[in-house]
Amino acid sequence: MIKINEYTKIAVSSLSKKLDDNHPEIRAKAAESLGKIGSETAIPGLLKALEDSDGFVRIKAAEALGNIGSETAIPGLLKALEDSDEDVRMHAAVALGNIGSETAIPGLLKALEDSDEYVRRKAAEALGKIGSEIAIPGLLKALEDSDGFVRRNAAEALGKIGSETAIAGLLKALEDSNEDVRRNAAEALGKIGSETAIAELLKALEDSNKDVRRNAAEALGEIGLEEAIPALINALSMPYPMQKIAFVSVPPMQSVKLVLVMP
């Protein structure tokens, strides 16, 4: 009787051969299937597929390598970050973020300056997943990108990294013209948790966007300084539609629960 892992070996072997099929649709489907199986024995064939003549095959190969998640795929994916096809570059960035190794950071930092905004967006997201402070200077620069989604993802990534060196850039991002950027900047400042952000977060409680106000309230709750409580209580009477719970820890007092219910 053939064991389950033997079936997997047979499937991987068969699908790997299909990576050399004459039809690009079959090669792409084989790469996709190998990614779903997730066996590292498929990596050599998928790395070769990253250099396929068909762009869609290269996309599916990058995607599959990200699903498998092995660091042995990093050199090939870094090379794919320079592919002539922007969709391949984008999927390579996603894959590198899924793998999560710091060895990908230099390539992803370079991708933050890619000519295609979708590549830059995914590079910022990937750097946030990796979570290394090495990426902070590049992500701070990305907070000033011409594309709002890049700026939004950069703010989120800086929050995940959680270093106080990002505070100045995030405080500036609280005044961004894009509400999603302001929202993510407020959330990031809450995750970092520094009292130096309180003054600007208090101002953000009066933002025109309810999601920004909500995240500012949550951030102030996470920072937990007593001086923020009056502003949070005052927010109860603000004429904006919002319902949120903020928890403010005030040492050495017990946690104070503020229920913000706006009509």
29-60: pLDDT as tens digits: 999 999 999 999 999 999 999 999 999 999 99
Give pLDDT, residue 124: 98
Give pLDDT, residue 223: 86
118-157: pLDDT as tens digits: 999 999 999 999 999 999 999 999 999 999 999 999 999 9
CA atoms within 13 A on the CB side of 257: 4
User: Looking at residue 164, what DSSP letter applies?
Assistant: G
Quickly state the pLDDT bin for 245 (edges 50, 70, 90): very low
Instruction: Give the span between the Cα atoms of 103 and 107, in whole angstroms.
Output: 8
User: Looking at residue 207, what DSSP letter applies?
Assistant: -
Burial zone of 237 (CB within 10 Å; 0-12 exposed, 13-18 middle, 19+ buried): exposed
Which domains are delineated in the chain? Answer: 4-192 (1.25.10.10)
Two tokens, residue 22: 């004459």
Share the mean pLDDT of the chain: 88
Cβ neighbours for 168, distance < 8 A, ≥ 6 positions apart: none
9-33: pLDDT as tens digits: 999 999 999 999 999 999 999 999 9
Instruction: Give the span between the Cα atoms of 127 and 118, in whole angstroms.
Output: 14
**Lowest mean per-residue pLDDT among 59-63, 81-85, 236-240:** 236-240
Give pLDDT, residue 226: 61
Instruction: Give the span between the Cα atoms of 163 and 174, in whole angstroms.
Output: 17
Quickly state the pLDDT bin for 250 (edges 50, 70, 90): very low
Of 235 and 170, the one with more pLDDT: 170
CB 225 within 8 A of CB 200: no
Instruction: Give the span between the Cα atoms of 219 and 193, in whole angstroms.
Output: 8
Give pLDDT, residue 146: 98
Full-model pTM: 0.86
Give pLDDT, residue 68: 97
Of 111 and 244, the one with more pLDDT: 111
- Indicate if the pLDDT at residue 249 is higher than 90: no
69-100: pLDDT as tens digits: 999 999 999 999 999 999 999 999 999 999 99
- Indicate if the pLDDT at residue 207 is higher than 50: yes
Instruction: Give the span between the Cα atoms of 54 and 89, in whole angstroms.
Output: 14
